[in-house]
Amino acid sequence: MWPPSALESLRAQVRQIEGQHRRATPSLPFGVAAVDARLPGGALPLGALHEIAGGGNGAIDGAAAALFAAGIAARTRGKVLWCLTRLDLFAPALAQAGLNSDRVIYLEGGDEKTILACFEEGLRHGGLGAVVAEVARLPMTASRRLQLAAEGSGTIGIALRRWRRQTEASDFGQPTAATTRWRVSALPSTPLPVPGVGRPRWLVELIRCRAGESADFELEACDATGHLRLPADLVHRSGQAEGRRYSASA
């Protein structure tokens, strides 16, 4: 195949071509080595659009996806604009994920068009720390505009995908201009030696990543500061945390 030195020189050429247009983008590491290793640049790029959806029943209620987004937003600096159409988001849960009530501004839009327009306004302004919008459909043109607006201002934009019916959730396969695409599904929580529910666990799938490969991880949910964690029993198992592929079930 290709000798390694030729690959390296090709990579350097590509980096040089891209480097004319790319500034050093600020980014937000997850703090979990397994996840950060899969992202280009070792962290989640801040001036970009990311898509998060729930898996299984989460495609309709979007509970785990909302907490995942809240954890990311909690670790940025500045106010967070959260645009929604369905009014079932419970603010104390966001506070428990690290996103204090003083930082979040809620916007209730009547329809998706308004939400996408306000999403773009929020990203373009540049004074917010993060903008989260709960949308069901994200057309390609809209996502391209959002990605450009996010790049221009350096604000992270999170499109939380949530549908009304399970059949509509197949819309998640449509291509968009988002930098990364995640799917968060609920898994049984950390087992405790006593009766009770331990720290919740999620199956976080990185379905699509620009300039990177897809992967999935089993992680423990956000703590009070918005950080995720690798489950303790998986840390001690050598070499099995990476490279595990689940066949797509939902």
Partner 1 sequence: MVLAADAAAQAAGLHVGMPATKAQALVPGLVIQDADPTANSEALERLAFWILQRVAPIVAADPPDGVVIDAVGADHLHGGEAATLAMLVEKLAGFGLRARAAIADTWGAAHALARFDARPGLVSEPGNAARDVAPLSIASLRLASDMVRDLHVLGFDSVGDVLAQPRAPLALRFGPELGRRLDQAIGRLAEPIEPIRPEALIEVRRAFAEPIGAAQTLSRYIRELAKQLCGALERRGLGARRLDLICQRVDSRAQAVRVGTGLPLRDVKRMTRLLCDKIETIDPGFGIEVMTLAATVAEPLLPKQSSSNLIDQPEPDVSGLMDLLANRVGEKNLYRAAPVASDVPERAVRHIPVLAPETGAEWQGHWPRPSRLLMQPEAIDTVALLPDHPPASFTWRGVRRRVKRADGPERVFGEWWKRDPELTAVRDYFRLEDDAGERYWVYRAGDGEDPLTGSQRWFLHGIFG
Name which of 85, 79, 160, 88 is nearest 125 in CA terms. 79
Out of 31, 126, 154, 212, the only residue in the binding site for partner 1 (CB under 8 A) is 126
Strand residue runs (E) in 8-76: 27-28, 44-45, 49-54
Tell me how far, at minimum, the Cβ of 94 lies from partner 1, in Å. 7
**Distance between CA atoms of 45 and 179, rounded to whole angstroms?**
8
3-state secondary structure of 152: helix
**Using the rule CB under 8 A, is 186 a contact of partner 1?**
yes
**Using the rule CB under 8 A, is 125 a contact of partner 1?**
yes
CB-based contacts of 224, cutoff 8 Å, min separation 6: 96, 97, 98
**Using the rule CB under 8 A, is 101 a contact of partner 1?**
yes
Size of the site for partner 1 (CB under 8 A): 58
Tell me how far, at minimum, the Cβ of 154 lies from partner 1, in Å. 11
**Using the rule CB under 8 A, is 248 a contact of partner 1?**
no
Tell me how far, at minimum, the Cβ of 80 lies from partner 1, in Å. 11
Out of 48, 52, 63, 116, the only residue in the binding site for partner 1 (CB under 8 A) is 63
Name which of 246, 200, 236 is nearest 220 in CA terms. 200
**Distance between CA atoms of 122 and 220, rounded to whole angstroms?**
31
- Is the distance from CB of 226 to CB of 74 less than 8 angstroms? yes
**Distance between CA atoms of 158 and 162, rounded to whole angstroms?**
12
Tell me how far, at minimum, the Cβ of 89 lies from partner 1, in Å. 7
Cβ proximity to partner 1, 177 vs 184, nearer residue: 184
Which of positions 68-97 make contact with partner 1 (CB under 8 A)?
68, 70, 78-79, 87-97
Contact residues: partner 1, CB under 8 A:
56-57, 61-68, 70, 78-79, 87-97, 100-102, 104-110, 114, 117-118, 121-122, 125-128, 184-189, 192, 195-198, 200-202, 221
